[in-house]
Amino acid sequence: MASQLLPRQLITGQRMDREEFLRVWEQLPDIKHAELIDGVVYVSSPISRDHGTFQLLVGYWLSQYAASTPVCEVGGESTWMMLESAPQPDVYLYLLPEFGGQSGYTPPYSEGAPELAVEICVSSTDYDFGPKLALYQRAGVKEYITVETFAKRITWRVLIEGSYVPIQPDADRILRSRTFPGLWLDETAFRTRDRAGLTACLQRGVVDAAHAAFLKRLRAS
């Protein structure tokens, strides 16, 4: 009988519905990173230094944008109620609901889909490019960025007619968001972890006329 009192474990590959997944996870406070994607549990390996470094770099970049764009908010590593799944994006950016954002919040979890999600890929490429990409695509995450730390490759996808299409940098090697005007990324500065270069590029974006028009339009709606 005693063994029946022990909480269930979360093991990668296990099948559960979302209600059971959340209930079991609440009994396992030592597990910080777990996701349910289309009924399958994924528990991450220990976080590597490269993963942590690039995750903070993305957070730094998006936080600066959010500071200049008070119609949106940035977050990371929190669980989302997305369709029947419960992903935990590394970093995300979303429009606030009062400005037309597509996500909601029923404490303690966000619901729906952020406008932009970022995943740092160290050993999880198959997962981030497979089940998670498919979920984000179906759920309507408008832009999905993956950062492959080993290859130092950034892939920025935009949702067009229900499918992700990679966007290409302009001639100046700058990637520009389609959903968040002024959210500009200098690829070279990002790969070399040049925070000054990242900031300089972003500052040019948030003083661009398209960013001002974006804020004016949302505040008037």
Domain edges within the chain: 10-172
Percentage of the residues of the chain whose pLDDT score is greater than 90: 84
pLDDT (tens digit per residue) in 72-113: 999 999 999 999 999 999 999 999 999 999 999 999 999 999
CATH of 10-172, picked from 2.60.40.10, 3.40.350.10, 3.90.1570.10, 3.30.2290.10, is: 3.90.1570.10
φ, ψ at 76 (rounded to 5°): -170, 155
pTM: 0.93
Residue 3 has pLDDT above 60, yes or no: no
DSSP 66: H
On average, the pLDDT of the chain sits at 93
Q: Could you give the residue ranges of the DSSP H alpha helices within 27-114?
A: 49-68
* Residue 221 confidence (pLDDT): 82
Q: How many C-beta neighbours within 10 Å does residue 221 have?
A: 9
